[in-house]
Chain A
Amino acid sequence: MLPFLSIGCPYWRYKKADTMKKISLLKTLLLACVLLTTANAFSSGESGCTTEPSQNEEFSYRSYVSHHLVNCSETILPGQDEGFWTLHLDSVFYSIFMAFVFSFSFYLAARKATVSAPTGWQGFVEMVVVFVDEQVRDTYHGTSKLIAPLALTIFCWVFLMNFMDLLPVDLLPALGQSVGIEYMRVVPSADLNITFGLSLTVFLLIIYFSIKIKGLKGYAKELAFQPFGKWMLPFNLMLKLIEEIAKPLSLGLRLFGNLYAGELIFLIIALFTIRAATDQFTVGDSGYIVMQFVLGLVWALFHLFIILLQSFIFMMLTIVYLSMAHEEH
């Protein structure tokens, strides 16, 4: 149904992996490689990366906004119309780039890990790792070694992807336009495909752990006989299936909705001084510049809080769902 782009990289080994951080880091690298991203074209914008938009003499607000909401997409199977096999190249590129930024920077900290009082970058990395480890330890009572590095990867990767929303709206697209890429959206997690890729991966992990811990029969029994007795089997099944489907749906849509709304409001704030870019600039437009600055500052501060919160929520819900998949009644 959905094509998955898996990021393959080598699995590195450390000779002296004493500290928990090193073990976490190499598993984190593995997971950053294995986390799947969907490459499906969910949105119905125009296709094409390099087709020039029709040049209008006057800017219209609507055309600016809708220009910035079109992904740079390419169909990888030639001869197919736009649909399932169309990749959003900009989202894929930025998400993979952020994964490398995260992996490489954490690798740099783990490479020269000292047990004595850490300073600088290593101190920060240790702070993040300890924070995630606390959350996992409080919630997850199983024995799998996958959960903590997975939580760390999700937290940092989603945060880095969300952080792209704080760059000025036209900065990277203008650079892209000078190279010939007409349409570009720089926030990967404002793309429904990326967020659903993450949440469907978590969903597959939930099913995998449920079957691994409880066995196939145990899992089927739990689906069929909880919460009511066995004479209400179809009702139980329906309730349980809805609950299971709601988990990845809500995970993906929550992150997408928050980031898409944030990006849209940044675009609307950018519309304030759009006439200053044309030849119709008058002195009265300087009030708009001040208003844009103030509003942009306020929204950017609030959005900083939102991106941190949303990545934390994604991580916490992943941990909670996976620990629920481990427990038995």
Chain B
Amino acid sequence: MESDFILGMTAIAASILIGMGAMGTAIGFGLLGGRFLEGAARQPEMAQMLQIKLFIVAGLLDAVPMIGVGIALFFVFANPFIG
């Protein structure tokens, strides 16, 4: 049946969406955390202010894979290609 093919491809597409998003975010958070630790080690009195900025950038970085997860879940539960 043709929708078997579409279902299989949808599964692969959803996995790629989530996986690539997670990979990019992981690398980004690693870099971000490393720079924060470096900066806090250089100037410990700035650590508090830097931490606030860290969370702001972390929230921004989180957005893109979350959008990807949202789209992937949309394809899993309400696939527009079948029916």
* B55, A309: Cβ atoms closer than 8 Å: yes
* A254, B62: Cβ atoms closer than 8 Å: yes
B11 to chain A, nearest CB (A): 14
Question: When A45-B78, A253-B63 are in contact, do A261 and B73 touch as well, CB less than 8 Å?
Answer: yes
* A257, B77: Cβ atoms closer than 8 Å: no
Chain A interface category by residue count: 20 to 34
Bound CA–CA A272/B56 (angstroms): 35
A154 to chain B, nearest CB (A): 14
- Residue of A44, A253, A260, A312 touching B59 (CB-CB under 8 A): A312
* A261, B56: Cβ atoms closer than 8 Å: no
Q: Is A33 an interface residue (CB 8 A)?
A: no
* B55, A43: Cβ atoms closer than 8 Å: no
Q: Which of B1-9, B27-35, B36-44, B64-72 forms contacts with chain A? A: B64-72
Question: When A45-B78, A69-B77 are in contact, do A309 and B66 touch as well, CB less than 8 Å?
Answer: no
* A257, B59: Cβ atoms closer than 8 Å: no
* B59, A310: Cβ atoms closer than 8 Å: yes
* B77, A250: Cβ atoms closer than 8 Å: no
Bound CA–CA A44/B81 (angstroms): 13
A33 to chain B, nearest CB (A): 27
* B78, A43: Cβ atoms closer than 8 Å: yes
Question: When A261-B73, A310-B59, A316-B56 are in contact, do A253 and B67 touch as well, CB less than 8 Å?
Answer: yes
Which single residue of chain B is at the shortest CB-CB distance from A62? B77
B26 to chain A, nearest CB (A): 16
Task: Output the residue of B59, B62, B69, B73 with the most chain A CB within 10 A.
Answer: B59
Which single residue of chain B is at the shortest CB-CB distance from A316? B56
Can you sample 27 A-B contacts with CB below 8 Å? A43-B78, A44-B78, A45-B78, A66-B77, A69-B77, A250-B67, A253-B66, A253-B70, A254-B62, A254-B67, A257-B67, A257-B69, A258-B62, A258-B66, A260-B69, A260-B70, A260-B73, A261-B66, A261-B69, A261-B70, A264-B73, A309-B59, A312-B56, A312-B59, A313-B59, A316-B59, A317-B60
Residues of A participating in the B interface, judged by any CB pair closer than 8 Å: 43-45, 66, 69, 250, 253-254, 256-258, 260-261, 264, 309-310, 312-313, 316-317
Give 12 A-B pairs besides A45-B78, A253-B66, A309-B58 with Cβ atoms closer than 8 angstroms: A43-B78, A69-B77, A250-B63, A250-B67, A253-B70, A254-B63, A254-B67, A261-B69, A261-B70, A312-B56, A313-B59, A313-B60
